[in-house]
Amino acid sequence: MENHSLLISILVSVYNEEKTILDVLKRLSDIKKFGHSIEVIVINDGSSDNSEKIINENKHLIDKLISNETNRGKGYSIKKGLESSNGKYIIFQDADLEYDPNDFLKFFKLIEKFNPDLIIGSRLNYSDYTRSYNILNKFGNKLITFLFNIIYNTTFTDIYSCYACFKKDLLNINSLKTVGFEQHAEILCKVVKKGKKFYEVPINYNGRDYEEGKKIKFYHIFGVIFQIIIGRIL
């Protein structure tokens, strides 16, 4: 029997995404029409463009808005969103539309059927489409995924996909130390150490290049690798 009463918190961290944020919010609002109980939490990370104005004009599409007075970083914003969330499950959504919110429906089906501890959306696992992206970033992702699988005895194909869905009670929010891009690794390490049931689903990916505004850089891999290793020890 399907359980659409399950509350899922979707965290949207926003920094200067005036071109895409409204489309993201509309797509997330459309998902609610399928009957799933969802809360959308937007964290505006000190945007200097029109992102905040657009969000404020469309508050009917969201459940909570958190605003940082200055740009504090994605990790800081995600932690604020986690602290404010009420869902049994947490899902991350970037505001740049590299990832399609419609793929969340695949996550919801797994939640209802298997009660998983963690689901990762894989851009490499037979998705409908994946835009070709920077070779260094792709190499870095494969290296990170290989290292993670070895250390944590898992078989993921795309560990640094933005789309990760996990049970909130597996994560001690106050224990999070990182505030940058490496926080994603810290969260996954903590969840995998406590959880038992892990799944992957194929997702679509329309990645941006740096001229289009992509923010993550190849050198971020070093902080991520450090978190994966130290996460196993601590």
Domains of the chain: 7-233 (3.90.550.10)
State whether residue 108 is helix, strand or coil. Answer: helix
Predicted local confidence at residue 150, as pLDDT: 97
> Is 174 exposed, middle or buried, given 0-12, 13-18 or 19+ CB atoms closer than 10 A?
exposed
pLDDT at 219 over 90: no
pLDDT at 116 over 60: yes
How far is C-alpha 128 from the chain's CA centre?
Answer: 20
Predicted local confidence at residue 124, as pLDDT: 83
CA atoms of 151 and 113, how far apart (whole Å): 28
Q: Band of the pLDDT at 233, cuts 50, 70, 90?
A: confident
pLDDT tens for 53-104 read 999 999 999 999 999 999 999 999 999 999 999 999 999 999 998 899 999 9
Predicted local confidence at residue 132, as pLDDT: 59
Which is more confidently placed, 26 or 160? 26
pLDDT tens for 6-18 read 689 999 999 999 9
How far is C-alpha 7 from the chain's CA centre?
Answer: 17
CA atoms of 231 and 189, how far apart (whole Å): 6
Q: Band of the pLDDT at 231, cuts 50, 70, 90?
A: very high
CA atoms of 106 and 152, how far apart (whole Å): 25
Type of residue numbered 30: D
10-46 residues labelled b (16+ CB within 10 A) or e (exposed): bbbbbbbbbbbbbebbebbbebeeeebebbbbbbbbb
pTM of the model: 0.89
How far is C-alpha 224 from the chain's CA centre?
Answer: 15
Type of residue numbered 129: Y
DSSP-assigned letter for residue 59: G
pLDDT at 215 over 90: no
Could you tell me which of 62, 91, 44 has the C-alpha nearest to residue 187?
Answer: 91
Predicted local confidence at residue 33, as pLDDT: 84
Q: Band of the pLDDT at 206, cuts 50, 70, 90?
A: confident
**The dihedral formed by the CA atoms of 113, 118, 122 and 127, expressed in degrees to the nearest 10:** 10
CA atoms of 13 and 80, how far apart (whole Å): 10
Asked which of 104-113, 144-153, 199-208 is least confident by mean pLDDT, the reply is: 199-208
Predicted local confidence at residue 118, as pLDDT: 98
For residues 118 and 104, is the Cβ–Cβ distance under 8 A? no
